[in-house]
Amino acid sequence: MGATITTALPPPYPIINDNPTNKEVISNIRNREWGLVGSFFFLGFICGFSGGTIVISKNAVFNSPVLVGRPHRKRNGWTMAVLFTYGSFLVMGRRSMTRLLGFRENKEECARFGIPWLPPDEGLEELYA
């Protein structure tokens, strides 16, 4: 049996680009969101660095602690920094894409591209809340 697709709701904000490419999505990320990506990088490094000093488990063969001490702290810090940065970059890209598609507030983008911005209808705003 096939799935039945119903008509989708129109986006509550003006559509800037109905099929944005990766380049357009990345170029549309706001400056404060780039700041958040950098903040998550440092947060990830701090979490990984401090987590490298905690005994995770005991090795069954040699009965020695795993991931303890100085050599592991920097490696864990960089690994977590990369993971946090990658995750925050994905979230910021998704937010940028939804602004281009009109599903998120896009007043700044409308001004930049010369599109008149209209506030959403009362009914549509309630549906997306």
Most confident of 35-39, 72-76, 117-121: 35-39
Rounded to a whole number of angstroms, the distance between the first and last alpha carbons of the chain is 32
User: Domain locations in the chain?
Assistant: 32-114
pLDDT in tens, 50-99: 776 555 555 555 665 555 556 667 778 888 899 999 999 999 999 999 99
Do 31 and 38 meet the contact criterion of CB atoms below 8 Å apart? no
Over the range 87-100, which residues count as b (16 or more CB within 10 Å of their CB) and which as e?
A: ebbeebbebbbbbb
Distance (Å, whole) CA 91 – CA 28 = 13
Helices (H), 5-121: 22-27, 31-51, 70-101, 107-113
Two tokens, residue 46? 């701090």
